[in-house]
Amino acid sequence: MQQPLRFSTDVLPERDRLAIWREVFGRYVVMAQVEPAGDGGFSQTATLRELPGLSLGSFSSTGYQVTRTKNLVVDGNDNLVLIINSAGRSQFHQLGREAVLASHEGVLMSNAEQGSGIHPGASRHLTISAPRRTLVSMVRDPEAIACRPLPRSEVLRLLISYIQSTDSLSLDSPGLGQAFATHLQDLMVLAIGATSDGEEVARGRGLRAARLVAIKLDIGRSLGRNDLSIGALALRHGVTTRYVQKLFESDGATFTEYVIERRLLEARRMLTDPRFAGHSIGDIALKAGFGDLPYFTRSFRRRFGMTPSDAREQARREPE
- Boundaries of every domain in the chain: 5-156
Q: Assess contact for 46 and 59: CB atoms under 8 A.
A: yes
Per-residue pLDDT at 35: 86
Strand partners, 92: 99, 117
Per-residue pLDDT at 207: 93
C-alpha angle 26/27/30, rounded to 5°? 55
CATH topology of domain 5-156: Jelly Rolls (2.60.120)
Please, which residues have CB within 8 angstroms of residue 103's CB and are 6 or more apart in sequence? 85, 86, 87, 88, 89
Per-residue pLDDT at 1: 47
Per-residue pLDDT at 164: 82
Contacts 24+ apart (CB under 8 A), 306-310: 308/267, 308/271, 308/281, 308/284, 309/281
Cα of first residue to Cα of last residue in the chain, in angstroms, is 35
Strand partners, 46: 7, 59
Per-residue pLDDT at 40: 66
10-residue mean pLDDT profile of the chain (320 residues): values are 76 83 78 81 86 90 90 89 93 96 94 93 92 90 92 91 73 72 92 91 92 92 89 93 94 94 96 93 95 95 95 82
Closest CA to 69 of 19, 17, 22, 34: 34
Report CA torsion sign: 141, 199, 151, 162.
Answer: negative
Report the distance separating Cα 157 and Cα 142, nearest Å.
21
Per-residue pLDDT at 319: 64
